[in-house]
């Protein structure tokens, strides 16, 4: 203790703030900061749906059978809650289950937020901003195909900052007022502020109006929204926990995945000029100009797999379609995101990794539900699932 006091005195009597920070620094460590939260998420991780459960779910022939299975798990609370039943009955089948998966995930995210240390909470909130972007993308693309709010709602995940009432207002606004409706929300203003670094406000507003009518403009707008999210993350994701670096690496991988898929989709639609590809590239990944040039020149999927090998090492190269390759890449990224949980037993990575795992649980349920909706067999759905 004498040594501690001596060290504080050495800082100087007129620098009280520095002294307090010094003392706090001595006592700050992962166990104290993240011990309780890490224990909570590890306990929740033990309850995650396992592979054998998904196998049984795949073999259910009806949505009623799937609901009965899920009611024997921690999904019972949401499946029997007033919030879900206010919108759908059991007879709604796939929509009922999709919305149940979304509500459960959102509730878990909010519970984890409630016990995440102040040091790590900004990281969690920033990562959850992803859902605001994806929800806006879903709303805009659904409006282009004439869907109503009731048809859009089951496919939204309200785990970000946008409230359900805010999303409903945006979804029901006139196309000419879409930009204004988004800008009327706090999170919308932040997203559009990032987006306006690439375009002026009036140009951006016109993109929102045109995106309702044009698939090409919609694609361009989606890239701009994605870029705004990743720019936001890269400029603001900070923590005293050094494991935040692994989260940054995961984000970089996500950017690479989006850039690779965007490039291949544009190539598939007939665009092979690298200058025309450039506006659709999000900055922040490891893939550079040589990678995109290689993708455009590749004659088949075997060559494509070789080009992306520095970023994604796939186990096979005999893909028959772009959609099949996309699924394999998404699977690869999902597995890498899940591994964040196992980086360190007590850190921000434990918390974020658990949320990644819960996201994959929700995704697995949605894949099974949608697969059943499209009359896919268990053999066709099974390769899409991610285990953890």
* Greatest mean pLDDT range, 15-29, 115-129, 200-214, 220-234: 115-129
Residue 137 confidence (pLDDT):
93
Q: Using one digit for the tens of pLDDT, what is the confidence trace for 226-276?
A: 988 888 887 777 777 788 888 888 999 999 999 999 999 999 989 999 998
- List b or e across 259-286, with b for residues whose CB sees 16 or more CB atoms inside 10 angstroms: bbebbbebbeeeeeeeeebeebbbebbe
Q: What is the mean pLDDT of residues 352-361?
A: 96
Residue 217 confidence (pLDDT):
87
pTM of the model: 0.83
Q: Using one digit for the tens of pLDDT, what is the confidence trace for 119-166?
A: 899 999 999 999 999 999 999 999 988 999 988 988 899 999 999 999
Is residue 181 a contact partner of residue 162, using CB atoms and an 8 Å limit? no
DSSP codes, 47-106: TSPPHHHHHHHHT--SHHHHHHHHTTTTTHHHHT-HHHHTT--GGGTHHHHHHHHHHHHH
pLDDT: which is higher, 105 or 241: 105
In this structure, of 279-283, 350-354, 372-376, the range with the lowest mean pLDDT score is 279-283
Q: Using one digit for the tens of pLDDT, what is the confidence trace for 373-385?
A: 999 999 999 989 9
**Farthest-apart Cα atoms in the chain, separation:** 74
- Identify the structural domains of the chain with CATH numbers, from first to last: 36-120+355-388 (1.10.132.50), 131-238 (no CATH), 244-342 (1.20.1690)
Q: What is the mean pLDDT of residues 194-218?
A: 81
Angle between the N-to-C axes of helices 121-144 and 201-211, in degrees from 0 to 180, rounded to the nearest 10: 50
Q: What is the mean pLDDT of residues 354-365?
A: 96
Q: What is the mean pLDDT of residues 84-96?
A: 74
Neighbour tally for 166: CB within 10 Å:
20
DSSP codes, 280-340: GPPTTSS--HHHHHHHHH--SHHHHHHHTTTT---S-----SHHHHHHHHHHHHHHHHHGG
Burial of 258 (0-12, 13-18, 19+ CB in 10 A): buried
Cα–Cα dist 281/283, whole Å: 6
The percentage of the chain sitting over the pLDDT mark of 90, rounded to a whole number, equals 61
Q: Using one digit for the tens of pLDDT, what is the confidence trace for 24-38?
A: 443 456 678 899 999
Distance of CA 370 to the CA centre of its chain: 19
Measuring CA to CA, which residue among 36, 111, 100 is closest to residue 73? 100
């Amino acid at each position: 203790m004498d040594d501690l006091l001596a060290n504080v005195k050495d800082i100087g009597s007129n620098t009280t703030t520095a002294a307090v920070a010094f003392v706090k620094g001595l006592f700050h460590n992962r166990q104290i900061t993240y011990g309780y939260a890490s224990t909570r998420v590890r306990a929740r991780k033990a309850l995650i749906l396992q592979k054998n459960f998904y196998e049984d779910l795949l073999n259910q022939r009806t949505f009623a059978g799937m609901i009965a299975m899920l009611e024997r798990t921690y999904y019972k609370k949401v499946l029997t809650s007033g919030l879900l039943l206010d919108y759908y009955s059991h007879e709604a089948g796939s929509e009922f289950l999709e919305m149940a998966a979304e509500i459960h995930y959102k509730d878990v995210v909010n519970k984890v937020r409630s016990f995440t240390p102040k040091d790590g909470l900004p990281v969690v909130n920033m990562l959850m901003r992803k859902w605001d972007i994806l929800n806006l993308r879903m709303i805009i693309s659904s409006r282009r195909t004439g869907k109503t709010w009731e048809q859009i709602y089951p496919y939204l995940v309200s785990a970000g900052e946008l409230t359900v009432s805010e999303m409903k207002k945006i979804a029901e606004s006139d196309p000419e007022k879409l930009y204004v409706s988004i800008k009327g929300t706090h999170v919308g203003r932040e997203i559009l502020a990032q987006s306006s670094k690439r375009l002026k406000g009036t140009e951006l507003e016109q993109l929102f109006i045109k995106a309702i009518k044009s698939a090409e403009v919609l694609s361009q707008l989606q890239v701009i929204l994605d870029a705004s999210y990743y720019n936001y993350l890269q400029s603001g994701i900070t923590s005293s926990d050094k494991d935040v670096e692994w989260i940054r690496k995961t984000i970089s991988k996500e950017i690479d995945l989006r850039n690779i898929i965007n490039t291949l989709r544009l190539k598939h639609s007939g665009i092979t000029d690298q200058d025309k590809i450039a506006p659709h590239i999000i900055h922040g990944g490891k893939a550079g100009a040589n990678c995109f040039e290689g993708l455009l020149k590749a004659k088949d999927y075997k060559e494509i797999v070789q080009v992306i090998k520095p970023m994604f090492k796939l186990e096979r190269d005999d893909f028959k379609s772009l959609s099949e390759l996309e699924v394999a890449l998404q699977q690869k990224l999902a597995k890498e995101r899940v591994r964040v949980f196992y980086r360190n037993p007590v850190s921000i990575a434990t918390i974020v990794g658990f949320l990644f795992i819960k996201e994959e649980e929700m995704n697995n349920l949605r894949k099974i539900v949608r697969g059943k909706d499209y009359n896919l067999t268990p053999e066709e759905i099974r390769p899409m699932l991610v285990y953890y």
